[in-house]
Amino acid sequence: MEQGRSQQLFEQAQRVIPGGVNSPVRSFRAVEGTPPFIARGAGAHVWDVDGNEYIDYLGSWGPLALGHAHPAVVEAVQRAAADGTSFGAPVEQEVELAEMICAALPSVELVRLVNSGTEACMTALRLARAYTGRSKIVKFAGNYHGHADGLLVAAGSGALTHGIPTSAGVPESYAAETLIATFNDIASVEGLFEAWPEDIAAVIVEPIAGNMGVVPPADGFLEGLRQVTETRGALLIFDEVITGFRVAYGGAQTLFGITPDITTMGKIIGGGLPVGAYGGRNEVMQQVAPLGPMYQAGTLSGNPLAVAAGVATLTELQRPGVYEQLESTGIRLIDGVNAAFARAEVPSTVNRVASMFTGFFNAGPVSALAEVEQSDTAAYGRYMHALLERGVYIAPSQFEAGFVSIAHTDADIDRTIVAVGDALAAL
């Protein structure tokens, strides 16, 4: 596969950017090789600077439920840009996006827009601590909630991929406020509340784990979290940065019928531009400045271009049949992938919820981080490159989610399934 221009750009990038990338997982360090530098995208396809075309299952790590360069999104951003890019003052589009989010999520009566999922999750912790007056937070090993200090403890995603689940530079005093539980093990959470009965401000969870690869919640797990937090006077934070508007228009909380106290969002609500958000019921959100004593701010929060992209995206996702299409595309893909792995007699487990999925090089089941960590990541890396050479782009890490969009056609899926069979034969 021709990669001359990508290699040249990667060398140039590494002279001025750490690892040559602005987010570690893009570096391909976990799977070796040179990351293709992408020139453009359209629908379900991207082209790199060497002219190689790929069917894209990264979708920018989740924001692109509509695919690349959807006309409604491009037009909304172009129109907004023509009137100015930022004012540092309220604009109408911010109200529209906030109203759409509150209408989609009954648990969210007030929502604050920020610039990333990290900001949303970082602030959600501060809000929970302000509301409860407590200092400890419970998170799950392998869950990733962005790179705020207190959350880079036993983190998933790129931290897990690069073997630094607890980052250097996080003072022990910060890390000590973060208690680690085991995803899908409610007893591990109850044990922490036994040990810290009056100290835990909140439990934060990816309701469907995406950052250890996709691992769905076990039956009763989310209900158990809701119950134990209510009983113990702690808040339940659903980190729906991936799952929000992904697995259903109302996110995982409507899919599973659980009402969290705070929800964090990102990715899809910005349609590929930088938007994050945190929200919850009035009583909790009254803490947020300028209403209350918990401070959070941002020069570009609610940026007109970003919220225009978000409004255009959610508008398209409201169209009848969208989520049924995402579901049927996900089923077609995974049925084909499973059949290809079975024909090749390669042990694998594919976990899928709606249009998010991960194929593990692992005989399975894969329902806990300890099982995820048994996966053959070297085989995954070879598979990922074999697919790339056959025009299919999947996550350059075993510990990430893949996505289909409304732009993925049956022809794309069928071509992908052929490429999977050929890639497995070449391993």
As annotated, the active-site residues are 144, 239, 267
Nearest to 222 by CA among 184, 194, 250: 184
Which of 125, 277, 262, 293 lies closest to 201 in space, CA to CA?
125
Residue 166: CB minimum distance to ligand KE4, A: 16
Q: How far is the CB of 400 from ligand KE4 (least distance, A)?
A: 5
Query: Please, are residues 202 and 235 in contact by the beta-carbon 8 Å criterion?
Result: yes
Q: Closer to ligand KE4 at the Cβ: 117 or 421?
A: 117
Q: Which is nearer to ligand KE4, 93 or 115 (CB)?
A: 115
Report, in Å, the least distance between residue 283 CB and ligand KE4. 24
Q: Do 86 and 303 touch, CB atoms closer than 8 A?
A: yes
Closest of 425, 248, 251 to residue 340, by C-alpha: 425
- Cα–Cα distance measured from residue 229 to residue 134, given in angstroms and rounded to the nearest whole number: 13
Measured distance CA(91)–CA(108) in Å, rounded: 21
The backbone torsions φ and ψ at residue 240, rounded to the nearest 5 degrees and listed phi first, read -105, 30
- The residue whose Cβ lies closest to ligand KE4 is 117
The residue behind tokens 């003072």 is 171
Binding positions for ligand KE4, rule: CB under 6 A: 23, 25, 61, 116-118, 121, 144-146, 157-158, 206, 210-211, 239, 241-242, 266, 276, 400
Taking the CB of residue 40, how many other CB atoms lie within 10 A of it? 11
Strand, helix or coil at 111? strand
Q: How far is the CB of 292 from ligand KE4 (least distance, A)?
A: 24
Structure-block tokens of residue 374: 């048994």
CA distance 264 to 255: 16
What burial letters (b/e) apply to 227-239, b meaning 16+ CB within 10 Å?
ebbeebebbbbbb
Least spacing, CB of residue 213 vs ligand KE4, in Å: 10
- What is d(CA 61, CA 56) in angstroms, rounded to the nearest whole number? 10
Of 184 and 424, the one with the shorter C-beta distance to ligand KE4 is: 184
Nearer to ligand KE4, 330 or 396 (CB): 396
Nearest distance in Å: CB 399, ligand KE4: 9
Which of 371, 400 has the CB closer to ligand KE4? 400
